[in-house]
Amino acid sequence: MTALEVCVVPGDGSFMLLAQDGRVIEWSVSAEETFGWSAREAEGRHISELVSRAVDGEGRWTSAIVEALSTCSPMIFHVLDAELRILEVSGVCTPRPTYPVSVIGGVFTEVYELAAPAEEKVARDVLRSGRPVLDHVVRARVPGDDRRARYYSLSYIRVQSLHADGAGLVVLALDVSDRVQAAQRLRILEAVRERVGEQLDVIGACRALTDAVVPGLCGIAVVEIIDGVVRGEDPPLAPVEGAVQLLRAAFRGVVSAHPVGEVSRLPDATPFSRVLTDLRPRLVNVKPDAPWLSADPARAASIAQSDAHSLIVAPLALRGQAMGVVSLYRRGAEEPFDEGDLGLAADACAHTALSIDNARRFMRERTIAATLKRRLLPQRPAVTTAVDIAHLRLPGPGAGGAWFDVIELSGARTALVLGDVAGRGVATATIMGQLRTVIHSLAALDLEPDELMARLSDTAARLADERAALPAGDSLQAQPLTAGCLIAVYDAVDQHCTMVRAGLWDPYVVYPDGRATVVRVPEGPVLAGHGHAPFPATTVELPEGSTLALCNEDLLMPTCQVGSLLVAGIGDSLDDVCDTVAYALRDRDETEELLLLARVKALPADRVMIITLPTRNEAAPLARAATRRQLAAWSIPEEEAYTAELVVSELVGNAVRYGAPPLQLRLVLDRHLTCEVCDAAQCAPHLKHARTVDEDGRGLFIIASLADNWGTRYGPDGKTVWAQLPASPPL
C-alpha cells in the first residue's frame, strides 16, 4: 500500500488503519479491548505517540503493539541500547531493504549516515529526560539500499525494560521522502512565481529564475533567450532554425562557458538545440564521452570543470512559440535529477515563459510609446532672442506623459509650457501629443495665458469624456484622464513674465544677484478635472539674467537640493547646470522628472520704437515717416524698409477707420521686424477678399500677403494688430 497500511495484531485479530505518515485513521473495536484505548482517543494520533504512552505505562500491551508494528507497519522499528547501538531492527519498507548482518550492533547514527553530532544529541536528550521526540525529519540512507538518500520521520521513545540491558530507545523510522520532496518542490515553484512574476523586463525575469532555483533545485542554472525576444520581437514558432541567435541572459553557478550578455548560435545535435526543435524537456545523464559535448567545446570544458553529472534542459515556450532554453545542472555530491525534478523544472519554465512574454509585450509597448513620444516632442527647443533654454529629463519606468514647449510669440514674447499627463504607455503619449498640438494652435491666436489654459482644459475634458465612453472591456475606460500644465509668457520688452498653472508645482526664480524664490502662482484645477474654477494669472518682474525653472515633480521644494544647485550655477551655462542637477538626482528614478530652465534676456531699448498717433487722416503719413527714419537707423535694406512702410500704413489706416483712440505704433526688431498698432476698440478685424470694383477692404489682405505672420491680441485696454516681417537686423 502507498497511502494506507493495515496493522493486525496476531492472535486476536485486532487491527489499526494507518496513514502513510503514521497517523491512526481507524481503530477497531477489538483493538480498543486489546490496547485499552478507545477509537476516539487513538484516531488522529501518531502511532509513535501511542507507542510512547504504552511503554511509559503499565506495559500490558507493549509487546502486542510492537509485534503489530514490526509485522506490517510502514515504519522501520529499531531498538537501541544506551550507547545508541542497534539491538533489533524490523519492519516493512517499500521496497523492503535487505539489511546486512553488520547493522546489528552498529551505532544508529553511523549506520544510517545521519548528521552524527546533532542527531546523537537528540537521541541522548530523550534518554536523559524521558520526553519523546516525535516526527523528527532527517535525511538518511537505508543500509543495503543503493538508491539515493531519502527523508525519514524519526520518533525517539525511551523504554526501561524492553530488553535485558535496561534503559534504551525505540526508534520508529517512517519514509516521508515523497512528502518532503513535494514540499521542497512546492517551495521552489512558489519562489519562481513570486520572484519571476515581479519582473517587467525579460532579462530581469531570467535572472529571477536562476535566483529561485539555485541552490534549492540545482547547483548551476543557465538561461539563454532568443535575441529578438529580448528586443520585444515575436518569438518564432517551433521548430526553430539552427541559425537563430541566443543571448546568454542569466547564469548562476561556478563556471560559465560563455559570459552573460554574449550572443551566439546553439550548436546542432545537442540537447539544447533539440529542445528548441520539439519543445520537450529532457533529463540527461552527463557522461564525459557523450557525443553531443564535442559540438560545443567551451560548454564541455565548463561542465567538466564544474563536475556536473546530471542535466535538465527545458524550453521557455508559450503557445508553440520558442523563447529560449534553460539548463539546470547538478554537480559533485548533489543527487542526480529524477522525473519529479523534471516535472518541477518544466512547471518553473512554463511560468517563466509566461512572465517573459508579458515582459516582452510590455517592452514592445514601452518602445512604441517612447518612439511615439519622441516623435511628438519638439526635436529641439525653439531658438529665441528673448531666452536661453535648457531642459533635463530623467525618465522613469516606461514612457511617461511629461513634455515641454518653447513657443515664439509676437512682440519679442516667448511662451514656456510644461505639462504632464498621468499614466504610461501609448495612450498617454497620444494624449500628450494632442494637448501639445492644441497649445500650439491656441498660442497662434495670441490668447492671454489664463484664457489659453481655460481653452486647453476644455479640450482635455472632451478627451476625458471620450475615454469614459469607451466600452467597459477597454482597459483605458477605467483609467481617468488627468493632466497638469504650467504656462509662462515672458515679454523681453517689458521684462515681465505672466504665469498660470493647472496642477503641477510652483515655478522657481533665481535672480542675477543670487536671490532665489518660489513664485506663488494660484493653482487652478487639473486639466480634464471637469472643474469650472478660473485659472488666475500671476505677473512678476524678471530682470535680465534671471533664471526661471519649471518642473513636473517636487524638485524645487525647499527640502530638495536642486534650488541650491540653481543658485550655485548662476555663472554657468544652463546645459552645465542641467548636468549638475542630473548628477545629484541619479538615484531618483521612480517617476519621470522634467526640468525646464529659461534664462531671460532684455531686448535693448534701441531695438524698440514707440510713437503715439493722431486719430485723423494724417496718422498714416506720420507713421510712414517715423517708420522710414527708424528703419534707416537700424540699417534695414531699402527693399525691406519699403515693405514695412506699406504694412505700417495699412495697419494705421485700418485702426483710424475701425478703431478707437488712443492709437499707438510700435516697431520691435529682434530676429524679425514686428509692426504693431494699438487702439482702444475691442472689435476684431477680419480679412476680406475685395472684388475688382471695391474701393476698400484690401488692407488686411495686403498685410497678409506681405507679412510672414499677422494677428490680433487683446488686452485690458483694447487690442493690438501686428504683422511680422523678415528683417536683416544690424550687427
- What is the reported pTM? 0.64
**Which pLDDT score is estimated for 60?**
43
Residue 373 lies in a domain: no
Tell me: do 526 and 630 sit in the same domain.
no
DSSP characters over 230-246: HTTPPPPBSSPPTT-EE
Provide the CA 310 distance to its chain's centre, in angstroms: 36
Are the C-beta atoms of 591 and 481 separated by less than 8 Å?
Answer: no
For 356, the domain range is 181-365
Residue 588 sits in a domain whose CATH number is: 3.60.40.10
Tell me: do 576 and 431 sit in the same domain.
yes
Coil, strand or helix at 380: coil
**Which pLDDT score is estimated for 686?**
64
Pairing of strands 4-8, 15-19: antiparallel
Alpha helix ranges (H) inside 637-695: 638-658
Phi, psi for residue 97 in degrees, rounded to 5: -75, 155
Q: Could you tell me which of 343, 315, 314 has the C-alpha nearest to residue 329?
A: 314
* Cell numbers linked to 606: 534701441
* CA angle at 290 for the pair 288 and 293, rounded to the nearest 5°: 85
Residue 410 lies in a domain: yes
**Which pLDDT score is estimated for 93?**
38
Mark which of 342, 365, 388 sits at the end of a domain. Answer: 365
Residue 372 lies in a domain: no
Residue 353 sits in a domain whose CATH number is: 3.30.450.40
Amino acid present at 132: P
Tell me: do 164 and 197 sit in the same domain.
no
Query: How far, in Å, are 152, 155, 172, 210 from residue 158 at the CA level?
Result: 19, 10, 12, 46
Coil, strand or helix at 689: coil
Residue 370 lies in a domain: no
**DSSP tag of 372:** H
Kindly report, residue by residue over 580-609, the tens digit of the pLDDT: 998 888 766 667 889 999 999 999 999 999
Tell me: do 583 and 625 sit in the same domain.
no
Tell me: do 635 and 557 sit in the same domain.
no
Provide the number of structural domains found in the chain: 4
Tell me: do 557 and 625 sit in the same domain.
no
Amino acid present at 460: A
Residue 433 lies in a domain: yes
Residue 716 sits in a domain whose CATH number is: 3.30.565.10
**List of residues 6+ apart from 726 with CB closer than 8 A:** 640, 672, 673, 708
**Which pLDDT score is estimated for 695?**
43
Q: Could you tell me which of 459, 466, 425 has the C-alpha nearest to residue 441?
A: 459
Kindly report, residue by residue over 703-719, the tens digit of the pLDDT: 888 899 998 988 888 89
Query: How far, in Å, are 514, 571, 667 from residue 568 at the CA level?
Result: 8, 8, 38
Amino acid present at 483: A
**Which pLDDT score is estimated for 53?**
56
Phi-psi region of 121 (alpha: psi -120 to 50; beta: other; left: phi over 0): alpha
User: Other CB atoms closer than 10 Å to residue 346's CB: what's the count?
Assistant: 16
Tell me: do 97 and 215 sit in the same domain.
no
Tell me: do 589 and 615 sit in the same domain.
no
Report d(CA 508, CA 257) in Å as an integer.
55
Phi-psi region of 263 (alpha: psi -120 to 50; beta: other; left: phi over 0): beta
Mark which of 156, 177, 198 sits at the end of a domain. Answer: 177
Tell me: do 209 and 307 sit in the same domain.
yes
Mark which of 600, 635, 666 sits at the end of a domain. Answer: 600
Tell me: do 505 and 630 sit in the same domain.
no
Residue 198 lies in a domain: yes
Pairing of strands 523-524, 516-518: unpaired
**Which pLDDT score is estimated for 92?**
42
Alpha helix ranges (H) inside 569-634: 574-584, 619-633
Tell me: do 136 and 247 sit in the same domain.
no
* Cell numbers linked to 161: 525494560
Tell me: do 552 and 645 sit in the same domain.
no
Please list the ranges in the chain whose pLDDT falls under 50: 1-4, 8, 56-58, 60-62, 92-98, 101, 690-695, 731
Coil, strand or helix at 120: helix
Residue 310 lies in a domain: yes
Report d(CA 7, CA 464) in Å as an integer.
74
Q: Which residues pair with 75 in a beta bridge?
A: 174
Q: Could you tell me which of 338, 313, 20, 44 has the C-alpha nearest to residue 184?
A: 338
**Which pLDDT score is estimated for 177?**
86
Are the C-beta atoms of 321 and 234 separated by less than 8 Å?
Answer: yes
Residue 163 sits in a domain whose CATH number is: 3.30.450.20
Q: Could you tell me which of 696, 616, 610 has the C-alpha nearest to residue 650?
A: 696
Residue 114 lies in a domain: yes
